[in-house]
Amino acid sequence: MKHFLLLLGIVLMVSGQAWAQRTFILSTLRHKTFASVTASSGRPTVSPFGKNTQNFLGKGQSLQVSVGHRLGWHWGIVGSYMYSTNPIRKNDVQNDLLRLVRVNVEQSAPWQSTATNCTLQSAMVGPMFTLQAGRFVFDIQATAGYAQGTSSDMEFNAQYQQEAISYTTPARTILAPAAGAGIAIRYKIFRWLALHGSAQYVTADLRYDNLYQEVKVGRQSSLELIRPHQPVGLLNVGGGLSFLF
């Protein structure tokens, strides 16, 4: 028993020394370049470009690829591509439509609805401030560029007192200026690899062309233009892997 405890103590001491040495090495390494992949959960939020009158977006997901390079001791440059997809809150659209045609929810038959997700693809570049503390690396980023937004292709149908009610809005795609800001915390687990968590905010000044909605009640139909200025803001929180060079 004494020999086993002695052997266990030697193993723990050697392991502790190896871990301390590894931590010291990773803490002193200052990589200049990183490439990261981030999967996030995103929610719509406010935009400095204005208010979105078609505020029907729900919580979605995003995937981001970023490449950063440190030019000096703390300052560097970062570029990123982000793809975000958010579903439409169908119940909110249905309630808004019922108010539009002045029908109570209890008086209409169950809805049949289809709606594609709204997507936002952004490519941006900007400055980055980096601060290292041991195996942790903190990045603060501010970026600007362009985004491609695609609205939802929606179709809703129901029955009310033997008359059909329908609502359709075709999808539209537009290219618009975009801006973003974010923070990332990286923890180096190997010389070339780190785990990270991040919070990224992106906003785009979307102005669609020929965005309209068509409402039909029985044989009567109405075609109305929707306000073309529909800015969007998204806050994405998630994590992923960073490759260090």
Report which DSSP code applies to 2: H
pTM for this one?
0.85
C-alpha 158/C-alpha 112 separation (Å) is 6
* Separation in Å, CA 23 to CA 18, 19, 31, 52, 196: 9, 6, 15, 49, 17
* pLDDT score, position 5: 43
Identify whether the C-beta of residue 60 lies closer than 8 Å to the C-beta of residue 85.
yes
Q: What is the pLDDT of residues 186-201, one digit of tens each?
A: 999 998 999 999 999 9
Confidence of residue 12 (pLDDT cuts 50, 70, 90): very low
| Identity at 213, one-letter amino acid code | Q
CATH 2.40.160.20: does it fit domain 31-244? yes
How large is the average pLDDT for residues 24-33? 68
Handedness of CA 5, 6, 9, 10 (dihedral sign): negative
Question: Any idea what the Cα angle at residue 144 is, between residues 141 and 145, rounded to 5°?
Answer: 140
In this predicted model, what pLDDT tens digit does every residue of 145-162 receive, in sequence order? 999 999 999 999 888 777
Q: Hunting for tokens 């969007």 — which residue is that?
A: 232
Report pLDDT digits (tens) over 73-117. 899 999 999 999 999 998 888 877 777 766 655 555 677 889 999
Residues 209-218, buried b or exposed e (16+ Cβ, 10 A)?
Answer: eebebebbbe
Q: Where are the beta strands (DSSP E) in the chain?
A: 33-45, 60-70, 75-86, 112-115, 118-133, 136-150, 154-160, 163-169, 173-188, 193-204, 212-217, 220-225, 232-244
36 pLDDT higher than 80 = yes
Percent residues over pLDDT 70 in the chain: 83
**pLDDT band at residue 14 using 50, 70 and 90 as cut-offs:** very low
Mean of the pLDDT values across residues 37-57?
Answer: 90
pLDDT beyond 80 at 6 = no
Selected residue with higher pLDDT from 109 and 125: 125
Instruction: Please give the structure tokens belonging to residue 50.
Output: 């204005």
In this predicted structure, the answer to whether residue 18 has a pLDDT above a threshold of 50 is no
Query: Can you tell me whether residue 100 is helix, strand or coil?
Result: helix
Q: What does the domain layout of the chain look like in residue ranges?
A: 31-244
**Residue 9 pLDDT class (50, 70, 90 cuts):** low
Strand order in the sheet with 154-160: 112-115, 154-160, 163-169, 212-217, 220-225
Residue 101, pLDDT score: 67
